[in-house]
Structure 1
């Protein structure tokens, strides 16, 4: 398991010339069992799993100004620590050309065999076309998990936390309640 820089992405193919390389991307905020199951599914399609973690600026664009909950460095480190993941890297910020442009750059460097997305990923037709143009097999995974994991998602975790906070308002005791990206206590 290793965190890569974009410039090192092309080396993965040289390091593993006889292995099938699988590529996926996402936000992966508040890493949970659903993410781990997705990575296990991805890994079943090949030998080496490379995961791209979305940049904070893009997450805010697509999920709202309060997201991500965890910054890109924390999310990247969490993904790096998961067993099925061989390599991960921070995604390039999405420009006005849209999501596919940064992916194109990464796929051209990595030359993966397989690109995996969840069935609820946005714009699957564009991803399908992108995979075809780049000679990469697209695999659309159905979300399937054991009953004890049903309903787990980052959004559901956030909603549950919001409900708990609304039910039990905390008194301002002056005690710190969190740490910002810069390490400041608030």
Structure 2
């Protein structure tokens, strides 16, 4: 039996990956796919990744008919896993050169071979993420202040609020790239106190970039909206280092 191995994060699975698996499977009788764990992806791509968690990525990979086995690994690279599996064929996409392929020398040392395949020109995880970001930059966003931009606390003395820097960095990144940013708050909605001037100064001191500050948000325990997106959702699509 000829065993074939390939690996990757496969965080945003696309047609290029499926083409890679199809061509890799054609080199042998069994295709094993190594996938970086969530821990490993964070070490490689930053704390905002992966976009899709390990269990999700593994489930999708297992559903692809060309793949016979999926193995999760925690290391930044698959070298140790390749040593354990000892595949007959090691396959990588055309964005790699032979000299870059981890484990290539080891596989060749016992008579195995390395194959580089042209998967799906013009499609990559980077390009998919870029398309998502370009779409986000064309949108208008409405961010709540307390709990999103600022820490929450007991009472209504908003002078106690502290900035959540990682969230502010994401908001500013969106705004600088063309997104419209509205800030929406219920400050003063229950007490009747006018916090508008203070809040404006607070946002300026914290360096929050926005287009409009709105104060008529009704006070409530829960808000239900059909266009809700969380900061965690946004964070996952941000380039490495944006939120730092």
Show structure 1 runs of 5+ residues with no match. Answer: 1-18, 181-186
Instruction: Output the TM-score relative to the length of structure 2.
Output: 0.54
Does the Cα contact within 8 Å between 2:37 and 2:74 map onto a contact in 1?
Answer: yes
Give the aligned length: 151
Alpha-carbon distance change, 126 to 177 in structure 1, aligned in 2, over 3 angstroms: closer
* Unaligned 5+ runs, structure 2: 144-222, 233-244
Q: CA contact under 8 A between 2:88 and 2:107: conserved in structure 1? A: no
1:77-116 correspondence runs (5 A): 77-94=59-76, 99=77, 102-104=78-80, 106-116=81-91
**Which one of the candidate residues 107, 110, 117 is aligned to 2:92?**
117
Selected match of 2:15 from 19, 29, 33: 33
Structure whose CA Rg is larger? 2
Deviation at 1:57, TM superposition (A): 2.3
Residue among 3, 27, 32 paired with 1:45: 27
Larger relative contact order (C-alpha < 8 A, sep ≥ 6)? 1
How high is the TM-score relative to the length of structure 1? 0.69
Does the 8 Å CA contact 1:55/1:90 hold for their aligned counterparts? Answer: yes
Secondary structure, aligned partner of 1:139: strand
Partners of 2:230 and 2:21 in 1: CA distance: 29
Q: Which residue of 2 aligns with 1:177?
A: 229
Do the aligned partners of 1:107 and 1:134 also contact (CA within 8 Å) in 2? Answer: no
Counterpart Cα distance in 2 of 1:115 and 1:79: 18
Q: How does 1:114-153 map to 2 (within 5 A)?
A: 114-121=89-96, 124=100, 126-143=102-119, 145=120, 150-153=121-124
1:117 and 1:21 mapped to 2: Cα distance?
14
User: Deviation at 1:161?
Assistant: 1.2
Tell me the CA shift for residue 152 of structure 1: 1.9
CA deviation vs aligned residue, 1:104-125 (integer Å, no higher than 9, x gap): 3x23432321111123237526
Q: Deviations over 1:49-103 (max 9, x none)?
A: 1000112222222223322211111111111111101110111323xxxx3xx52
Seen in structure 2, the aligned counterparts of structure 1 residues 174 and 156 have a Cα distance that, compared at 3 Å, is farther
C-alpha separation between the residues in 2 aligned to 1:126 and 1:53? 14
